[in-house]
Chain A
Amino acid sequence: MAYVVLRKDRFDDFVSALSAQRKVMAPVSRGYNQFEFDEVHSGREIALSYIPTILPPKKYFMPQRETLIQFNSDSAEAVVDFYNMVILGVHTCDLAGIQCLNMVFSERPKDYNYLVRKNNITIIGLECNDYCDKYASCTLMSAELPNGGYDLFITEFDEYLLFHVSTQTGEDIINSVGIFEPANASHMSRLAGYRRQKRSIFNKELPVDSKDIAALFDKSFNSRVWDGLNERCLACGNCTNVCPTCYCFDVIDEPALDLTTGRRYRRWDSCQLEPFARVAGGANFRESRGHRQRHRYYRKFSYPVRKFFRYFCTGCGRCSRACMANIVLKDVLRDLLREHQ
């Protein structure tokens, strides 16, 4: 378990050196207190203090649109397009999201498009010392502290950044850049103090034990809460598109004008959209917006628990932030809890 230290005034050098090696993606400001992961070439472009980005880093693992097959009149090849890249500044909630997707796409039959891309991505995490805003429920989802899933992990202090080196890939980066110093006992005790301090800031956001949420959902299928969402939801799909653990997709063909060459690609899809569960004859198996919202919540707090033994919510709060109808995940959970008090 190695820790190294980088003086803050060398952060820019670190990012420049890294971007000379490969693509570096990091959170950048888009104004209006909105952030997005984008390619950077220097540390100055990076917003180290940011609230969850508009889209989670899943877009690098499973791009919005991704070619699966390239075809022409007499052959078709399965392909994967990828970059060798570093994602820098991934919060613990998003690390948890990536862990969820890893489970989904590693299951048999394995999804090689995802796995090839994953194998070419290096992850540098970044610790949060405080809540991003009122929408987060990361403590409830046990995602407020680092829990693996990174090559390097940064904890920020006033005058330096402390890096946890977790993998050989991470170690190689540290060595290749060569501007780090080994951490000493005082660095480590400051980290311990920082984590202690965090425990007083990050408190379980709802009066429920995380482990009891699945049981709550077992008895909430016909809750009136879903009727309420039916009235409010605009079925815009924002909540699923910004979710770090939503992975539904559509498969679409795009021929060229000659109609014989072209590509088959997948694109993010959303269970919130009207046509999602419609079949060829026209029947729609989740016709109401309320049922579609219910489905989304069960895909976070119930169904994956049975299959992957974990919640597929990271508490990042994106779905609440992105909802124009102000459907807030914490409020929905609170309402469900109240029904059973």
Chain B
Amino acid sequence: MARPKAAFFDFSCCEGCQLQIANFGESLLDILNVIEVVEFREIMSEKYDGTLDVAIIEGSINTPRAVERIKAIRARSKTLVAIGACATTGGVNGIKNVFPLDEIAGYVYGGNFRDYETIQTMAVHQVVRVDYFVHGCPIYPPEFVAVLKALLMAIPYDVPDYPVCVECKLNGNVCMYDRGVSCLGPVTRAGCNSWCINNDNICYGCRGMVSNPNETGAIDVIKQYGLSIERIVNKLEMYNKCRELNPHG
């Protein structure tokens, strides 16, 4: 059976998720046994403009040119995978949406900002249809592989719709709240195997919120632990600002 043709593309992002994949080491060879990578600028110079079985997209969409480009990629791809927070939720680029467009453009580009066309930051699914999501900043490598397998089997990959706490508890971690630190695990969707907390870090909410978070309950918890609401909201905004554009995202 011919390996499906796959290409990696990046939009507004740090390309760190592609770097994760490039750094897979030996398991990257296993992946190359099952897909044929025809474009991936971090690891090869070849380009490909034909029909694709799989387009793997990193980065968020925040210019009119990017909108056209992602639509064109979608049009020539059978399956489209969004990888990394920038692509799946808008990620940190979503912070841009906190400010009026002109103000933020002026702040970045100075007086000539009108020469640089810009629009509100959007996650990829807010512009074109996305078949698979690999959340995270950066992506959690085992989840990328799990999604790839679902894709090859042509079955859906269900992103866990429960909080990171579930995986964190299964890992027997000491709760960050018991360490006196605020952590976004309780409202952030799982799937990363509580990667950060396993490594003594807090959850920054990079995977986006669960679909039905108890927000008032969460505020009570924050108060109870004597934490600042403002600080938590700031933390939530880091990755979740684009959520307002599309509540079902």
* Residues of A near any B CB (own CB < 8 A): 30-34, 36, 54-55, 59, 64-65, 231-238, 241-242, 254-255, 257-259, 267-268, 270, 273-275, 289, 322, 324-326
Contacts and interface: CB of A to CB of B under 8 A. Distances in A.
B175 A324 contact: yes
B16 to A, nearest CB: 23
A54 B170 contact: no
A36 B177 CA distance: 17
Interface size class of B (residues with CB under 8 A): 35 or more
Interface of B: 30-31, 33-34, 145-146, 148-149, 152-153, 161-163, 165-166, 169-175, 177-179, 185-187, 210-214, 216-218, 220-221, 224-225
A288 B150 CA distance: 31
Contacts of A30: 174
Nearest to A65: B170
Nearest to A254: B146
Contacts, number: 102
Contacts of A322: 169, 175
Contacts of A274: 161-162, 210-212
A257 B30 contact: yes
Query: DSSP majority for the B interface?
Result: helix
Contacts of A242: 169
A210 to B, nearest CB: 28
A324 B168 CA distance: 14
A235 B224 CA distance: 17
5 contacts: A34-B178, A231-B214, A234-B186, A268-B170, A273-B166
A33 B179 CA distance: 10
Contacts of B34: 257-258
B10 to A, nearest CB: 24
A324 B186 contact: yes
A236 B224 CA distance: 17
A54 B162 contact: no
Contacts of A235: 162-163, 212, 214
